[in-house]
Amino acid sequence: MSAATASSRRDADARPARRTGARLRTRRRAIILALAAVVVVGFVLAICLGRFQLTPLEVIQAISDRESFAHQVVVEWRMPRTIAALAFGAALAVSGAIFQTLSRNPLGSPDIIGFSTGSYTGALIVTIVLGGLVPVEFGALAGGLATALVVYALAFRRGIDGFRLIIVGIGVTGVLAAINVWIRLRAKAEVAMAASVWGAGSLSTVDWAHLVPAVVILALLGVAVVMLAPRLRQLELGDDSARAHGLRVEPSRLALVAVGVALTAVATAVTGPIAFISLAAPQIAARLTRGPGIPLAASALLGAALLLGADQLAQNALPGVPVGVVTVCVGGGYLIWLLIREARRR
Amino acid sequence: MTEITASATATGDTAGPGGATTGSGAARLQARDVTLAYDRRVIAENLAVDIPDRSFTVIVGPNACGKSTLLRALSRLLTPTSGQVVLDGKAIAGYAPKEAARIVGLLPQSSTAPDGITVSDLVSRGRYPHQGLFRQWTSADEQAVEQAMAATEVDALADRQVSELSGGQRQRVWAAMALAQQTPILLLDEPTTFLDIAHQIELLDLFARLHHDGTTVVAVLHELNQAARYATHLIAMKDGRVVAEGAPREIVTAELVEEVFGLACVVIPDPETGTPLVIPRASRD
């Protein structure tokens, strides 16, 4: 490693161009650090602020003082909700980054190509048709994975083409959305109501019991993403180049799709569908870092910050409004802008 | 790969390390009785081709003759439905993909540059076959990238975004990525197709220098006169068969061009290099 730095230093003297390259990398590193700082500050603020305001010192006291009301607020309410926002925001964003890279299109995001809608269908089947025999998370997970399988199978023809994936995905989303309405219309009013609340996507019901297993799974998936990242960077170059570089293209793509689907499915199973984080975060991260491609780490941090911000907005400025509704409203505008831009490009 | 000087002879036909290569010499890369097909559409049957070591082999033939398909098979992009591609006496399908990619490199017909990627970043991605899960970027990688960029004369563009470059520059960057792979055998799938004549020659001269310095180069080319000028070993294909192979001076005749391309022509010595130059006959009406 020291030899590498030594040689690059020598080159920096020889060619000024090398220094600009370093500057570009420094810029990317600075943006990652800045985003990480935003996430840390956001975490602290989210724990301290609210209807019951605390100073950071009071928070630390509250953690140790198990009897106090502040302990209840901090440890039982705010902490799981804040950690959930960060973890699920990052998961959704990384999932979006993977799918957008594989499909070479921002519209290739899991929320656009039906995985979230499929999770909702699974959840509805479990709560309404099966009458709650199985936990709703299980239904959501199964629904999301099954939808991904169907979309992948329908779009597969000698490999996966990004545009076909999107078209098939949007079609499947339409069918599933219709099925979701149909199931809710057949259900009793109060059951349909509860299902609709889940369907809006909210972090308000998250507690430690639901959060811990989800975060453990997400951490494992995170390790998988780090290991698969070089393959994703090869797939970006096109299948021929990737194969010429010695990548097993189809198994790599399948592994990335599986990890991407799992990231979205785990988050959705706990919170209900939260739209547009996976669409918007990778795109914003790519614009901030100026590439190359869609950066995974910056997407994760940005997704975490976005979902935390949206949830704080939902909690404090718009009481009673689920975070899913906030992201839909903000993200909807972004989607329309993207669609218009895509349409103009063609 | 040592320092590549611009003064190196540009014509591949002079006796470089590839010298006398008429297909009889040793061949690390061979296609043995391969049948090549896309789904059920058979492109070539029982095709046998040896790539002479240290040759500049050029594959020519009319459209849809199977020349690019053959190159795809040689570079592991297409698995033969029967027969096998053999590298160093062993079926290439039996190699770990990265191991094969350290011996045989490819400049594909089309690749995609990720948004916002710089030239040096893109060239670095050619080092993938030399990296593993725990073996990350090293000084050897850094050196390979520097050399590849120097050889293709894109080092001055190292920090430019690929999307800003002209077509000729971009193709040199892709060539640099293939060079960074540092393979003793390099396959080129129609590397000059979308370039103007000056950039075509510039790129072919680059490949001729690589060949001169010891790399086995295999290219699919459209332009017959360029093929005859740069190749030390020419393979002429038609309808999935090899019609003729050997040194261009020996095999390029008016009869062969007539047979392979259906083109009436005369063949004269190239005034620059003495290699065969194909002049189409004027139409009679």
Go through the domains of chain A in sequence order and give each one's CATH number: 25-344 (1.10.3470.10)
How high is the pLDDT of residue B2? 39
A238 contacts B111? CB cut-off 8 A: yes
* Range in A76-85, A153-162, A278-287 the model is least confident about: A153-162
Element (H, E) at B134: none
Per DSSP (E only), the strands in chain B are 29-38, 41-51, 56-60, 82-87, 90-91, 104-107, 185-189, 216-220, 233-238, 241-246, 265-269, 276-280
Residue B16 lies in a domain: no
Angle, helices A296-312/A79-103, rounded to nearest 10 degrees: 140
What is the pLDDT averaged over residues A300-327?
Answer: 88
Q: Does A21 touch chain B (CB under 8 A)?
A: yes
**Phi-psi region for residue B214, left (φ > 0), alpha (ψ -120 to 50) or beta?**
left
CATH number at residue B187: 3.40.50.300
How high is the pLDDT of residue A54? 87
Rounded to whole angstroms, the Cα distance separating A67 from A56 reads 18
Name the more confident of B135 and B145: B145
A293 contacts B156? CB cut-off 8 A: no
How high is the pLDDT of residue A166? 87
Mean pLDDT taken over chain A: 85
How high is the pLDDT of residue A345? 66
B137 contacts A293? CB cut-off 8 A: no
How high is the pLDDT of residue B285? 60
Those residues whose C-beta lies under 8 Å from the C-beta of residue B40, and which sit 6 or more positions away, are none
Residue B274 lies in a domain: yes
Q: Is the pLDDT of residue A161 over 80?
A: no
Residue A105 has φ and ψ, to the nearest 5°, of -160, 135
Q: Is the pLDDT of residue B176 over 90?
A: yes
Q: Is the pLDDT of residue A111 over 60?
A: yes
Q: Does A286 touch chain B (CB under 8 A)?
A: yes
Q: Is the pLDDT of residue A6 over 70?
A: no
Quote the ipTM score: 0.87
A245 contacts B126? CB cut-off 8 A: yes
Residue B113 lies in a domain: yes
A244 contacts B75? CB cut-off 8 A: yes
Instruction: State the pLDDT confidence band at A147, using cuts at 50, 70 and 90.
Output: very high
Q: Is the pLDDT of residue A263 over 90?
A: yes
Residue B92 lies in a domain: yes
Instruction: State the pLDDT confidence band at A15, using cuts at 50, 70 and 90.
Output: very low
Q: Is the pLDDT of residue A4 over 70?
A: no
Residue B243 lies in a domain: yes
* Among A100, A84, A64, A24, residue whose Cα is nearest residue A338: A100
How many other CB atoms are there within 10 angstroms of residue B34's CB atom?
25
How high is the pLDDT of residue A346? 58
Contacts of B125 in chain A (CB under 8 A): 233-234, 237, 245
Name the more confident of A235 and A319: A235
Q: Does A25 touch chain B (CB under 8 A)?
A: no
Instruction: State the pLDDT confidence band at A171, using cuts at 50, 70 and 90.
Output: very high
What is the pLDDT averaged over residues A215-231?
Answer: 96
Residue B4 lies in a domain: no
Q: Does A293 touch chain B (CB under 8 A)?
A: yes
What is the pLDDT averaged over residues B202-231?
Answer: 96
What is the pLDDT averaged over residues A3-28?
Answer: 51
Residue B21 lies in a domain: no
- Percent of chain B with pLDDT strictly greater than 70: 90
Q: Is the pLDDT of residue A3 over 50?
A: no
Residue B7 lies in a domain: no
Q: Is the pLDDT of residue A23 over 70?
A: no
Q: Does A245 touch chain B (CB under 8 A)?
A: yes
* Residues of the domain holding B147: 27-280
Instruction: State the pLDDT confidence band at B11, using cuts at 50, 70 and 90.
Output: very low
* Among B192, B156, B152, B171, residue whose Cα is nearest residue B113: B171
Number of independent structural domains in chain B: 1
Contacts of A243 in chain B (CB under 8 A): 75-77, 97
Rounded to whole angstroms, the Cα distance separating B167 from B202 reads 13
Nearest to A24 among B105, B113, B118 (CB): B118
Instruction: State the pLDDT confidence band at A10, using cuts at 50, 70 and 90.
Output: very low
Mean pLDDT taken over chain B: 89
Q: Does A238 touch chain B (CB under 8 A)?
A: yes
B139 contacts A3? CB cut-off 8 A: yes
Q: Does A313 touch chain B (CB under 8 A)?
A: no
Element (H, E) at B23: none
A246 contacts B128? CB cut-off 8 A: yes
Those residues whose C-beta lies under 8 Å from the C-beta of residue A3, and which sit 6 or more positions away, are B138, B139
- Percent of chain A with pLDDT strictly greater than 70: 91
How high is the pLDDT of residue B25? 65
Q: Is the pLDDT of residue B277 over 60?
A: yes
Name the more confident of A187 and B176: B176
How high is the pLDDT of residue A160? 66
